[in-house]
């Protein structure tokens, strides 16, 4: 099939079965058509620019694009268009890829079901046995749905505490969170800077690698240790605190990062004079009150509290200590030494050490959207936070992790599960390799 056919089919799918995956879909006609045709010519001549030359890549709407709006699914950036492209977008375009539109998400990346969006919830292309709509996972739910529904070749999401892996697990796609810092965050709207990572979603690990490999070589991290192919159980004693640590640090950084949205220099402003029109009123109170959704407000308040003078020692600073312990837990069980560990702190490998850790991505299969949205069955925000329990540890430690779909035969409903592979910092290639071994396996 030609690249053009493939691309046109993707765009047709964007308009045919929405799933509300896109906030800004790709227009049916546009200069991108010519760029795909050129890529087809290069492909026929055997000289493609890259593995993604002429492919449609959808971009999560918290990654800046010059040509399409970047809303972060927030009312406060309702009509905002960034004056510049994120580095990852420039790199993709330089490789011949086409931005396939901007995908829906939880506002500023805060959520686990992609229901906290100013533009409405994302639907999972999969339905449960009774035909009920399911959660696509969050916060990169739009990216996951766009991949699952063949609306693009692959997608860029962001993963702060599991936001790429969880939706991959829910939608039966592959979601890869590289080592922290490996992919540029320039132009990625910050939620929690010390955790934010650009992640890649695709139908298969191969699709994901097409995009990823180009970055990995550039950074030439030492990788790929010999695989043992043996299974060991490992203990990560402090990791039980990871989830609460994440929900202290994430909101703290978010409360700081989101302070800039005051509607003074860009973004939406509330109608009429702000600050109740009083001379000593705040210039931004109505604007922020109207622009942000519930979950974002909740996390700003949480973060503001954990950074306040009376609470910072018990919350923010304590959480930073626990974060270090979580990282040390991983270092203790991996064969490979952390490449950024202090000089001289030589790692003595033990017999039981492992190359990768394999665990579920999500503790359960995707919840029904109707359960999430209806008031009678609506659960507390904490229930959604618990969904991140398996994904958050790797985020805190900055480790590469991938979620691949694995089919369990016999059961209709929970036939598909996301399995997560976590590796040592910089072991991104190994993680993908192991992911590929498991991907699509039909296990008895």
Q: Is 60 a catalytic residue?
A: yes
Name every residue whose Cβ is closer than 8 Å to that of residue 347 and which is 6 or more positions away in sequence: 331, 336, 337, 338, 341
Q: Which is nearer to other proteins, 16 or 283 (CB)?
A: 283
Window 81-100: residues binding other proteins (CB under 8 A)? 82-84, 86
- 416 binds other proteins, rule: CB under 8 A: no
**Distance from C-alpha of 244 to C-alpha of 239, rounded to nearest angstrom:** 10
Please report whether residue 204 would count as binding other proteins according to CB under 8 A. no
Residue 260 binding other proteins, by CB under 8 A: yes
Question: Looking only at residues 315 through 374 of this chain, which bind other proteins when binding is defined by CB under 8 A?
Answer: 316
| Contact yes or no for 154/208 (Cβ under 8 A) | yes
Distance CA 146, CA 220 (A): 31
Instruction: By CB under 8 A, name the one of 26, 122, 189, 397 that touches other proteins.
Output: 189
On whether the CB atoms of residues 64 and 86 are closer than 8 A, the answer is yes
Span of 203-211, 214-222, 235-243, 303-311 interacting with other proteins by CB under 8 A: 303-311
Q: Residues 50, 135, 139, 395: which is the catalytic one?
A: 139
Interface pick for other proteins out of 52, 92, 145, 192 (rule CB under 8 A)? 192
Closest distance to other proteins from the beta carbon of 314 (Å): 14
Using CB under 8 A, pick the residue from 53, 253, 295, 355 that binds other proteins. 253
Annotated catalytic, 50?
Answer: no
Residue 104 or 387: the one with the smaller Cβ distance to other proteins is 104
Region of 18-26, 170-178, 180-188, 239-247 interacting with other proteins (CB under 8 A): 180-188
Report in angstroms how near the CB of residue 71 gets to other proteins at its nearest. 10
Name the catalytic one among 74, 163, 179, 255: 163
Task: Out of 186, 227, 234, 321, name the contact with other proteins by CB under 8 A.
Answer: 186
Q: How many residues bind other proteins (CB under 8 A)?
A: 40
What SS3 string covers the chain?
CCHHHHHHHHHHHHHHCCCCCEEEECCCCCHHHHHHHHHHHHHHCCCCCCCCCCCEEEEECCECCCCCCCCCCCHHHCCCCCCCCCHHHHHHHHCCCEEEEEECCCHHHCCCCCCCCCCCCCEEEEECCCCCEEECCCCCHHHHHHHHCCCCCEEEEEECCCCCHHHHHHHCCEEEECCCCCCCCCCECCCCCCCCEEEEEECCHHHHHHHHHHHHHHHCCCCCCCCCCCCCCCCCHHHHHHHHHHHHHHHHHHHHHHHHCCCCCCCCCCCCCCHHHCCCCCCCHHHHHHHCCHHHHHHHHHHHHHHCCCCCHHHHHHHHHHHHHHHHHHHHHECCCCCCCCCCCCCCCCCCCECEEEEECCCCCCCEHHHHHCCCCCCCHHHHHHCCCCCHHHHHHCCCEEEEEEEECCCCCCCEEEEEEEECCCCHHHHHHHHHHHCCCEEC
Choices 153-161, 216-224, 255-263, 415-423; region in contact with other proteins by CB under 8 A: 255-263
Nearer to other proteins, 185 or 433 (CB): 185
Where does this chain touch other proteins (CB under 8 A) — which range of 79-87, 142-150, 212-220, 410-418? 79-87
The span of 36-44, 164-172, 258-266, 422-430 binding other proteins (CB under 8 A) equals 258-266
Contacts of 421 (CB under 8 A, 6+ apart): 356, 357, 358, 401, 402, 404, 431, 434, 435, 438
Binding residue for other proteins (CB under 8 A) from 188, 362, 389, 402? 188
Site string for other proteins, 232-251 (x = CB under 8 A): --------------------
Under rule CB under 8 A, residue 80 binds other proteins: yes
By C-beta, is 162 or 187 nearer to other proteins? 187
Q: Are 86 and 186 in contact (CB under 8 A)?
A: yes
Give the footprint of other proteins on residues 266-295 (CB under 8 A).
266, 279, 282-284
When binding is defined by CB under 8 A, the residue of 2, 290, 304, 318 that contacts other proteins is: 304
CB 72 to other proteins: min, Å: 7
Contact region with other proteins (CB under 8 A), list: 160-168, 219-227, 263-271, 290-298:
263-271
Residues of the shown chain interacting with other proteins in the complex, contacts defined by CB under 8 A: 63-64, 70, 72, 77, 80, 82-84, 86, 185-190, 192-194, 252-253, 255-256, 258-260, 262, 264-266, 279, 282-284, 304, 307-309, 312, 316
Residues carrying an active site annotation = 60, 139, 163
């Amino acid at each position: 099939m030609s690249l053009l056919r493939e691309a046109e089919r993707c765009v047709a799918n964007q308009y045919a079965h929405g799933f509300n995956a896109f906030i800004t879909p790709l227009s049916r006609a546009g200069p991108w058509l010519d760029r795909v045709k050129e890529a087809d010519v290069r492909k026929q001549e055997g000289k493609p620019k890259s593995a993604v030359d002429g492919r449609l890549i959808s971009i999560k709407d918290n990654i800046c694009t010059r040509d399409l709006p970047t809303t972060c699914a927030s009312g406060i950036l309702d009509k905002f268009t960034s004056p510049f492209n994120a580095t990852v977008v420039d790199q993709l375009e330089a490789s011949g890829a086409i931005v396939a539109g901007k995908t829906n998400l939880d506002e500023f990346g805060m959520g686990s079901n992609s229901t906290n969006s100013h533009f409405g919830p994302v639907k999972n292309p999969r339905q449960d046995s009774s035909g009920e709509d399911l959660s696509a996972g969050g916060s990169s739910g739009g990216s996951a749905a766009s991949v699952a529904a063949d609306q693009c070749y692959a997608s860029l999401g962001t993963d702060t505490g599991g936001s790429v892996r969880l939706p991959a697990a829910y939608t039966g796609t592959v979601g890869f969170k590289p080592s922290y810092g490996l992919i540029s965050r320039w132009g990625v709207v910050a939620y929690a800077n010390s955790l934010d990572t650009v992640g890649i979603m695709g139908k298969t690990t191969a699709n994901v690698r097409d995009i990823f490999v180009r970055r990995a070589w550039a950074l030439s991290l030492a990788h790929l240790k010999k695989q043992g192919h043996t299974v060991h159980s490992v203990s990560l004693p402090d990791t039980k605190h990871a989830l609460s640590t994440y929900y202290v640090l994430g909101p703290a950084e978010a409360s700081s990062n989101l302070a800039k949205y005051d509607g003074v220099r860009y973004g939406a402003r509330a109608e009429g004079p702000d600050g109740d029109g009083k001379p000593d009123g705040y210039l931004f109170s109505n604007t922020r009150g109207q622009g942000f959704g519930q979950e974002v407000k909740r996390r700003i308040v949480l973060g503001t509290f954990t950074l306040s003078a009376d609470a910072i020692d018990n919350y923010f600073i304590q959480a930073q200590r626990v974060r270090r312990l979580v990282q040390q837990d991983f270092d203790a069980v991996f064969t490979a030494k952390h490449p950024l560990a202090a000089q001289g702190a030589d790692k003595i490998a033990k017999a039981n050490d492992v190359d990768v850790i394999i665990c579920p991505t999500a503790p359960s299969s995707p919840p029904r959207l109707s359960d999430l949205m209806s008031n009678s069955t609506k659960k507390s925000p904490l229930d959604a936070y618990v969904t991140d329990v398996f994904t958050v540890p790797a985020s805190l430690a900055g480790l590469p992790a991938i979620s691949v779909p694995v089919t369990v035969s016999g059961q209709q409903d929970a036939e598909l599960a996301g399995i997560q592979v976590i590796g040592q910092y910089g072991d991104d290639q190994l993680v993908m390799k192991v992911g590929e071994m498991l991907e699509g396996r039909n296990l008895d």
